[in-house]
Amino acid sequence: MSDRAQFQAQIEKLVSSHTLHGSESLCKLLRYLARQALEHPGVAVKEYQIATEVFGRQSDFDPQVDSMVRVQAGRLRSKLAEYYSTEGTSDPVVVELPKGSYVIAFHSRQAHPQNNLAEPRAEGTSERAASGAWRNTSIALALLLLASLSATTYLYLNRKAGDAPPSVGSDPVPVQFRIFWKGFSTGTEEPWVIFSNAAFVGRPDIGMRYYDKARDGNAPILDHYTGVGEVLAVHNLDNVFNQLHQSLRVKRGSLFSLDDAKNNDLIFIGSPSENLTLLEIPSTQDFVFRRVPSGPRAGNMEIINVHPDEKEPREFLASPSGVPLVEDYAVVAFVHGINPEHSELILAGTTTIGTQAAVEFVTRENYLADLLKRLGVTKPSELKPFEAVIRVKVARGVPVESSIVALRKLKS
C-alpha cells in the first residue's frame, strides 16, 4: 500500500472510531484538513478558508469575532490525543494537528513526528531508535507517575473534612449543565451567540456617546464596541460549552441577520436597547426593557413587569446614574424562536454588569441549581419556556451575588 493510501485509510479509521462517533463536524474537519495536507503538502490552511469551505459560514466571517474554527480545531486535537491513547495505541500511522496550525501531520509510530508526510528511516538506525524511544518512554512514565502521586497527595491533604473522593469514572460536568444546556449543545449546528454592540458616534480617542437619531442625523456610526460584561459573558459561555465538548458561533448583533435567526438556536447577550436584533424577533413578554420616559431617571434603562404579582414591583431599576452602581437587574429568558423548532435564550441586564450576571446565572452550578429547582426541572425534557428577573448586587463594578425576584413559566 502506498503512503498516500495508508494515510487515507488511517483517516477513515479515525472517522469510524468510537472516539469520534457522533462528532460529525469534527469528522468533516479532519477529512478536509487531511485532503489539504495530501493534495497541497506544506501549504498553510487559513481559518477563513475552513470556516467557509467546511462549516458553510458566510463570506463576512470574521475570525477575530467568531472563534468557532479555533474551538473546533482544539476539540479535534483533544480527540486525536484521546484516540491514540485508547483505541489507536497499536495503529502504525499517527495523525496529529500541531498547535498553532491547521496543517495535518502524518508520521509512523516508529519514527519521530514530522511536520509533513512521514519519511522512511535510514537503515541501521532501528535498534538505536528503539533503545532511545524506550529510554524516553521510561522517563516520561516515571515523571507522569511522580506527578500523579503528587497531585493525589495534594488533593488528599487539602480536601475538606467529610468530603468523599470522586468516584472512578464520575462525570466532571455538573448535572445542572447537562439538564439546562442539552437543547443548545446537541443540535446539528452550533448555536449562535449574539452579543450587543450599540450604535455610537464620535471617536474613541476624543470620546463617544450613544447615537441619537434626532440629534446626530447622518453622522458616521461606530457599531463595533461592546461592554465588559458582554466580553466576560462570552468567555463564560465558551467555558461551559468546552466542558460539554461542544462549540459556539459568535457574532455581534449589528451583523446578525433574520435568516440566521430562522434556522438556528440563539443566545442573545445584552438588552434590546443595544442588541437591536431583539427588536425584530420573538422576545420576552412578561418582563420587557424600556427607557424611562420622564422624571429624574429619564433615559435610564428599566425592566417593566407587565403582569406583576401582588407583592412584585412594576419596575426594576438599577442604581441611579451619577452614583456608584451597587444594584442592577437582569432578565434570563428561554423562549421559542421564529421557527418553533429552535430556541432562544435571552441574557440581558439594564447595564453591562447586569448582563454579565445574567450569563453567570446560567453558567454557575449553584445559581443554575436554584433556577432549575424553582422551575421544577429534573431532566432536559422538562425544561419549558420561562422568563425570570434577577436582582444583582454589585461591588466595585463586579456582580457579587444574584437572586431570582420574579419568575414566569410560559405556555408552550
Instruction: For 144, list phi and psi in degrees, rounded to 5.
Output: -65, -40
Give domain status of residue 139, yes or no: no
Distances (CA, A) of 108 to 6, 113, 120, 282: 10, 8, 9, 55
Is residue 137 in a domain? Answer: no
The answer to whether residue 404 is domain-embedded is yes
pLDDT in tens, 70-89: 888 888 998 898 899 888 88
Domain that holds residue 322: 175-409
The sign of the dihedral angle between the CA atoms of 286, 406, 363, 62 is: positive
Q: Please indicate, yes or no, if residue 119 is contained in any of the structural domains.
A: no
Same domain, 203 and 349: yes
pLDDT score for 389: 97
Q: Is residue 75 part of a domain?
A: yes
pTM tops 0.75, yes or no: no
For the chain, the average pLDDT equals: 81
Mean pLDDT for the stretch of residues 365-374: 94
Burial class (CB in 10 A: 0-12, 13-18, 19+), 246: buried
On whether both 103 and 188 belong to a single domain, the answer is no
Task: Compute the average pLDDT of residues 253-257.
Answer: 78
C-alpha grid cell, residue 315: 419596575
Q: 356 and 235, same structural domain? A: yes
DSSP-derived letter for residue 255 is: G
Pairing verdict, β 192-195 and 249-252: parallel
28: how many CB neighbours lie within 10 A of its CB? Answer: 14
Is 169 part of any domain?
no
Residue 73 corresponds to which cell in the numbers above? Answer: 480545531
**Does residue 181 share a domain with residue 94?**
no
| Percent helix / strand / coil, the chain, rounded to 5 | 40, 20, 45
C-alpha cell at 317: 431599576
Assess whether pLDDT exceeds 90 at residue 390. Answer: yes
* Best mean pLDDT range from 145-159, 198-212, 268-282: 198-212
166 inside domain: no
Domain-terminating residue out of 108, 128, 149 = 108
Q: Are residues 86 and 211 in the same domain?
A: no
| CA nearest neighbour of 23 among 174, 186, 223 | 186
Structural domains of the chain, count: 2
- Other beta carbons within 10 Å of 108: 18
**Range from 7-16, 59-68, 116-125, 323-332 that averages highest in pLDDT:** 323-332
Say yes or no: 290 and 380 in one domain: yes
Q: Which of 93, 108, 123 is the last residue of a domain?
A: 108
Residue type for 281, please? I
Give the residue from 65, 84, 108 where a domain finishes. 108
Tell me whether residue 132 is in a domain: no
Q: Do 336 and 261 reside in the same domain of the chain?
A: yes
User: Do 222 and 364 sit in the same domain of this protein?
Assistant: yes
Type of residue numbered 290: R
Output the CA torsion 111→114→120→123 (10° steps). -60
Residue 247 burial (10 A CB sphere; 0-12, 13-18, 19+): buried
Shared domain for 184 and 103, answered yes or no, is no
Cell of 191: 448555536
Cβ atoms within 10 Å of 67's Cβ, excluding its own: 18
Same domain, 364 and 219: yes
- Of 61-65, 176-180, 183-187, where does the model show the most confidence? 176-180
Which residues, other chains included, contact 76 with Cβ-Cβ below 8 Å and sequence gap of 6+?
26, 29, 30, 97
